């Protein structure tokens, strides 16, 4: 994944015989950050089971039965398995920082990260046109404004708040970094070909601002960035808006439904 080449695979040892006992945590731009996340997460799972006057063997047994293990994968393949350090984890209790895997992952996204993305479908005859604006941050709040048709009199405007997915925001930020969106020479492009779809992005991150018209990118870059932005909005909400738009079409354009 461009900008996020490393991932951590988390193994739930308690459910290790279940087909879905592993989850993938994406969004790591460097191997060092991915390894540190994996280390902290496994060490934290050990600490959750540590008790006073507990034998080393008892702690090891509890971790093997109830804890987590993590491995890091990247372009080179598998590069780290956190359980390779289990003897060190057993020997010494972790400090709060050494087990703060949640804070480390959160730090991958700048605190001031915010974006506004307006997408407009091509100039098609009704009912094949729609538009939306996605606004996120700063902070963990988002809102989508959706028009199921050409905005105007009689056309509803739906506004829905949502909690933007942290993983999706991290992956999106890394993609923007890798694509050079924050380069000082990046400019908003001229208007696209008449009738084509349009997407305009404004983003702030780590004290930097960027503005971009997606039609300035190649088709592959445009599609990748568009998908990454949409992923910030929960799938459930996209489904609800799609169903609501379908009902609008059935009422407004019965011959086209």
Q: What is the DSSP string of the chain?
A: -TT--EEEEEEEGGGTTSTT-EEEEEEESSHHHHHHHHHHHHHHHHHTT--TT--HHHHHHHHHHH-EEEEEEETTEEEEEGGGGHHHHHHSPPPTTTT-HHHHHHTTS-TT-EEEEEEE--S--TTS--EEEEEE-SSS-EEEEEESSSSSTT---EEEEE---HHHHHHHHHHHHHTTTT-TT--PPPP-STTS-EEEEEEEETTEEEEEEGGGS-HHHHHHHHHHHHTTS-HHHHHHHHHHHHHHHHHH-TTT-
161-177 mean pLDDT = 96
pLDDT tens digit string along 186-239? Answer: 555 555 556 678 999 999 999 999 999 988 888 899 999 999 999 999 999 999
Q: Give the chain's mean pLDDT.
A: 93
Which tokens go with 3? 């900008």
- Looking at residue 86, what is its pLDDT? 97
Better pLDDT: 182 or 130:
130
Residue 96: CB atoms within 10 A of its CB come to 9
The pTM of the full predicted model, rounded to 2 decimals, is 0.90
Residue 257, pLDDT score: 58
**In angstroms, rounded to a whole number, what is the distance separating the alpha carbons of residues 109 and 66?**
30
Using the predicted structure, report yes or no on whether residue 69 has a pLDDT greater than 70. Answer: yes
Q: What are phi and psi of 77, to 5 degrees?
A: 100, -150
pLDDT bracket for residue 105 (50, 70, 90): very high
The pLDDT of residue 91: 95
What pLDDT, on the 0 to 100 scale, is given for residue 15? 87
Own/partner contacts of 143-146, CB < 8 Å, gap of 24 or more, are: 144/233, 144/237, 144/241, 146/241, 146/245
Position 188 scores a pLDDT of 52
Segment 4-31 mean pLDDT: 94
Higher-confidence position of 218 and 70:
70
pLDDT at 17: 84
Percent of the chain's residues with pLDDT above 90: 82
- The pLDDT > 70 percentage for the chain reads 95
C-alpha dist (Å) from residue 101 to 38, 51, 95? 8, 21, 12
């Amino acid at each position: 994944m461009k900008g996020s080449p490393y991932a951590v695979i988390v193994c739930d040892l308690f459910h290790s015989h279940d087909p879905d006992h592993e989850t993938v945590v994406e969004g790591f731009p460097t191997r060092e950050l991915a390894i540190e996340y994996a280390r902290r997460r496994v060490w934290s799972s050990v600490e959750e089971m540590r008790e006073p006057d507990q034998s080393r063997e008892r702690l090891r047994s509890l971790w093997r039965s109830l804890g987590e293990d993590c491995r890091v994968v990247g372009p080179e393949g598998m590069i780290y398995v956190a359980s390779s350090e289990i003897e060190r984890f057993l020997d010494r209790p972790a400090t709060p920082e050494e087990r703060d895997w949640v804070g480390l992952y959160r730090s991958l996204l700048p605190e001031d990260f915010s974006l506004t993305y307006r997408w407009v479908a091509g100039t098609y005859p009704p009912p094949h046109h729609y538009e939306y604006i996605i606004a996120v941050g700063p902070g963990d709040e988002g809102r989508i404004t959706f028009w199921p048709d050409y905005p105007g009199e009689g056309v509803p405007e739906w506004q829905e708040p949502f909690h933007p997915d942290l993983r999706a925001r991290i992956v999106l930020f890394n993609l923007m970094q890798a694509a050079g969106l924050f380069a000082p020479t990046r400019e908003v492009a001229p208007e696209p070909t008449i009738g084509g779809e349009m997407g305009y992005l404004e983003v702030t991150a780590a004290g930097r601002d960027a503005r971009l018209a997606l039609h300035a990118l190649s088709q592959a870059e445009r599609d990748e960035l568009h998908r990454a932005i949409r992923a910030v909005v929960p799938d459930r909400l996209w489904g609800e808006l799609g169903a609501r738009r379908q009902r609008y079409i059935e009422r407004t354009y019965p011959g086209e439904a």
